[in-house]
Structure 1
Amino acid sequence: MHPFTYYEKRQHGTREFPAEYYYVDSRHPRYIMSAHWHTEWELIRIKSGNFTLLVDEIEILAKAGDVILLRDSMLHSGIPHECIYECFVFDLHGLFRTTEIVKQHLRPVYNLDILTQVYFPCDSCNVISLFVNALMDNCAKREDSKADKGLLELSVLGYLCNLFSYILQNRMYKTVPLESAHKSYRIDQIKAVLKYIEQNYGTNITLNDLAGIANMNPNYFCRVFQNVTQQTPMEYVIYYRVEQAAMMLVTTELSITAIAFASGFNDHSYFTKVFKSIKGVTPRVYRKGHA
């Protein structure tokens, strides 16, 4: 299990193929997508059910067959509803760093001189769906130990080229609006708060502490934070602490009481109650289930 962080620092894939595929259903430990961002791009395909996604304060209600394309550093979170979804996280520049003609045409995309469309409903973007379906299917085949990974990676790159070529040819993008600067600053303020939570979750954190990091008054900060993350600041602190506790339960031999205190809970009974409300089982049962 990888550490839970708001800013994902870990590398996805390898240097030769800097991309990684994830199949996510209700059994996945990260089924609910907490607010985070990374320097790679991400494709999400909804296989079944519905998914409520929040991307830089914009809510998307995605259904089976829909595709979401997230640019690097976009803050995003999501709540699945009886949903199975797939994610393909990739370093766009790294994948095509040796292909000059692709780099030339994708330079405005790399540099964010243009902002590609984020949401592609399957009923109005069927060509996009075809490319992404083929890409995800090849990613899934690549997980098979007997598969020819090299040929499947070549296919994935081909479908990714087709995807961006189609987006650019059909002008499924917009230029950067001037009014986006204020919104970007507000998102950066929330990112600073999330980093603070990541670094200090084991200590006492107050609403005033977080509002001060964002340089906002507490009432306004609560509204902005909830718009971005779909949770109040203190709900998010508790959720983050539970995620860290869950990681420690399966990666260390610390006692449950020690883990409770290390993750910021001062009362064992309260920790157990909160953990069960989020994970569905007690810490002890969770540890046994992941032994």
Structure 2
Amino acid sequence: MKLVLKNTENFVNKRVNIYKRSVPCLDQSWHYHAEFELLYISESSGIRFVGDSVSPFYPGDLVLVGSYLPHLWRNDESYYEGQKDLMVNTTVIKFTDNFMGEGTFENPEFSEVKKMLELSKYGLSFDKSVSDSIREELLEITDLSKGYQSISLLEILYKLSLTENKKVLSTTDMRQFTSESPDRLDAVIKYISENYKNDISLNDVAEVACMTTNSFCRFFKKLTNKSFTEFLNQVRIRNASRMLVQENSPISEICYSVGYKSIPNFNKQFKQIMGLTPKAYRYKL
């Protein structure tokens, strides 16, 4: 698999492309595209990667991804719980910054929308209270005529721009402006997200990338803004945080199930990344 520049034929000469997806699983490749993307998850859970951000997602997840920002949503196997026919339901809204005409967001009344779109180069996640408040609009927008879709999208973006319940995801500008996609990085991210529960060494991932360990470390840091160890810990801890929310398993069991062999180390890494101990995190929720 590789990091893909998506330029689907059915989007050519279109400024808004809105559709629902009901599929067995979400994206299989780390990818980016020229359009902005507003993605709403109505059914599914797992881990999402947006720029250098790694976070769990749940039903109600609403994220605005800026143009050329690499992203990937991956389902976790626990979502299916033996139900192999269970589907993932999403609403996908792709649009250009001129979908309402040239210079629309230069008008003072849309200054907040303009700021939000500029900030989306880092990816923006909206609180579930926000997504719940516009849930019906997100679910019904696909049934509207093209004209009303654009009007509804403008209203949604305006509402989102006014809320304070949103957070920036990526810590750095990770946008890709070249069509030469780093196949190696996509293969590594896929390998880590599928094998984080097992022992993964630096040699293992360097071999996946077909590189020496020194070359891989420089390559991975440049493209993700994280070392391999930092990235692996984030994937493990974010999965652990999701399990603490969704499951009643003992913390020690969750520790081992995400790849840690030492509970003290698990607690240390969890607090460093999440700001709370696993016990405090579960209690807070």
Q: TM-score if structure 2 supplies the norm length? A: 0.52
For 1:1-291, list aligned pairs within 5 A.
6-13=4-11, 15-26=13-24, 31-80=26-75, 81-82=79-80, 84-98=88-102, 100=104, 105=111, 106-110=113-117, 112=118, 118-122=124-128, 124-125=129-130, 128-139=131-142, 141=143, 152-171=145-164, 180=172, 184=174, 192-194=181-183, 217-221=215-219, 227=231
Higher RCO, 1 vs 2 (CA within 8 Å, ≥6 residues apart)? 2
Distance (Å, rounded) in 2 between the aligned partners of 1:164 and 1:59:
24
User: Does the CA contact (< 8 Å) of 2:91 and 2:138 recur in 1?
Assistant: no
Query: Following TM superposition, by how much is the alpha carbon of 1:109 offset from its aligned partner in structure 2, in angstroms?
Result: 4.5
Seen in structure 2, the aligned counterparts of structure 1 residues 210 and 167 have a Cα distance that, compared at 3 Å, is farther
Distance (Å, rounded) in 2 between the aligned partners of 1:116 and 1:57:
9
Taking only aligned residues, the RMSD between alpha carbons, in angstroms, comes to 4.5
Seen in structure 2, the aligned counterparts of structure 1 residues 209 and 55 have a Cα distance that, compared at 3 Å, is closer
User: Does the CA contact (< 8 Å) of 1:70 and 1:118 recur in 2?
Assistant: yes
**Aligned residues, how many?**
197
Distance (Å, rounded) in 1 between the aligned partners of 2:120 and 2:26:
31
Query: Following TM superposition, by how much is the alpha carbon of 1:130 offset from its aligned partner in structure 2, in angstroms?
Result: 3.5
2:26 match: secondary structure? coil
1:96 match: secondary structure? coil
Q: Percent identity?
A: 11
Q: TM-score if structure 1 supplies the norm length? A: 0.51
Query: Following TM superposition, by how much is the alpha carbon of 1:221 offset from its aligned partner in structure 2, in angstroms?
Result: 3.8
User: Does the CA contact (< 8 Å) of 1:45 and 1:86 recur in 2?
Assistant: yes
User: Does the CA contact (< 8 Å) of 2:47 and 2:55 recur in 1?
Assistant: yes
2:101 match: secondary structure? coil
- Matched to 1:129, the amino acid is D
Seen in structure 2, the aligned counterparts of structure 1 residues 5 and 51 have a Cα distance that, compared at 3 Å, is same
User: Does the CA contact (< 8 Å) of 1:49 and 1:63 recur in 2?
Assistant: yes
Structure 1 spans left out of the alignment, 5+ residues = 142-150, 199-205, 232-291
Query: Following TM superposition, by how much is the alpha carbon of 1:154 offset from its aligned partner in structure 2, in angstroms?
Result: 2.9
Query: Following TM superposition, by how much is the alpha carbon of 1:56 offset from its aligned partner in structure 2, in angstroms?
Result: 0.9
- Matched to 2:89, the amino acid is Y
Distance (Å, rounded) in 2 between the aligned partners of 1:113 and 1:69:
10
Query: Following TM superposition, by how much is the alpha carbon of 1:99 offset from its aligned partner in structure 2, in angstroms?
Result: 6.8
Query: Following TM superposition, by how much is the alpha carbon of 1:134 offset from its aligned partner in structure 2, in angstroms?
Result: 1.4
